[in-house]
Amino acid sequence: MKLHIESMTCGGCARSVTAALKAVDPTATVEIDLPGKNVKIESSQPVESFTKALEEAGFPPR
């Protein structure tokens, strides 16, 4: 799945996003595209679990 996170603007943001996603599924593969403000997630968990975790972390996806 691929999510766009407009508020992800720096390396610290990317680390926070990764931590939030890994909290949902520690085995997920997370790829950050900081210039494009996108994150690619490979996981068996539903997308809703990840969007909720990102919203709670202050990085609501579109």
Contact present, 22 and 28 (Cβ < 8 Å): yes
- Residue 9 near residue 49 (C-beta atoms within 8 A): no
Tell me the pLDDT tens digit for each residue of 10-62.
Answer: 999 999 999 999 999 999 999 999 999 999 999 999 999 999 999 999 999 98
Instruction: For the domain covering 2-56, report its CATH number.
Output: 3.30.70.100
Domain boundaries, the chain: 2-56
pLDDT at 3: 97
**What stretches of 25-56 show up as alpha helix (H) in DSSP?**
47-56
pLDDT at position 62 is 87
Q: How far apart are CA 31 and CA 41, in angstroms?
A: 7
Which pTM value belongs to this model? 0.94
